Copies of this chain bind each other. A is one copy, B any other.
Amino acid sequence: MRLMIEADLDYALPEPADILLQVEVAAMADQRLDEQSLTIWSDHPIAAVVGEEGIGQRSWARGEGRFVAEYRATVTIDRPPVDLSVLKSTPPRAIPGAVVPYMLPSRYCQSDRLEGFVRRTFGGLSGGAMAQALLDWTNDALVYRAGVSEGSTTALDTFGSRMGVCRDYAHLLVALARAAEIPARCVAAYAPRVEPPDFHAVVELWLDGAWRLVDPTGMATADEIARIGVGRDATDIAFMTVFGSAFYQRQRVAVTRLA
């Protein structure tokens, strides 16, 4: 699968501010960057640093008055689908130290508050069967609806409201998986057919020794997802983190399947 990706950001800044941008597709074994350019209008030097877990990169910029950035890329994705349900269960003691942080609760994925629900509802399951059950449950229990969640909305909020956008689906699945002692992380991505078009958020579950990519919204298949970065929750995978205030002016994300 080949994707053409375009992302344009335009924000107003009431005061000068440092900005951490994370919009570039990560070069990885299962997704190859054919072409890529990131343009940031700024009088200040831009610096790229490696992303979390050594995946992808973030760029530091400084904005004054207005912040405008443009990203263009063509990516070839070669990622077979994975059948979660057959993957083996891993006892906690066999989970590598570097993966353990993804079993812990985080700000938007309060897995410690969802353990009771997971145990009472999915008590007999483990490993891939548990993961598949949680993925199916999340997809079924939620209604996709834009405009009902805010920046501060958490997995627990979504567990109650039963609606939200990709970010909310991702947070809830990640929280449920961690509550089931399955390491889980959030993934920023580009994917076609996201409605309304925007940056996409999906999930990786650590099962049988590797991270497995899934989209709890069901919008994208594994070979349509171009990963940008990974992290514990929306905090880590935000496309833009402003140290100060920024106001939306205009934003456009377009992802087109080339073949």
Contacts and interface: CB of A to CB of B under 8 A. Distances in A.
Interface stretch (A23-31, A139-147, A211-219): A139-147
Looking at chain A's contact residues, is the secondary structure mostly helix, strand, loop, or mixed?
mixed
Contacts of A143: 116, 120
Contacts of A58: 97, 100
B60 A236 contact: no
Contacts of A157: 113, 156
B241 A45 contact: no
A236 B160 contact: no
Interface residues of A, number: 60
A97 B45 contact: no
Contacts of A241: 104
A31 B120 CA distance: 39
Contact of A152 (B104, B106, B152): B152
A45 B94 CA distance: 11
B93 A46 contact: yes
Given A120-B162, A181-B18, A57 B97 contact: yes
Interface string A78-104: 000000000000001111111011011
Contacts of A117: 159-162
Given A107-B107, A115-B244, 20 more contacts: A14-B145, A46-B93, A47-B94, A50-B98, A105-B235, A106-B107, A107-B110, A110-B160, A113-B160, A115-B161, A116-B161, A116-B162, A116-B163, A120-B143, A145-B245, A147-B245, A150-B151, A156-B156, A159-B160, A181-B243
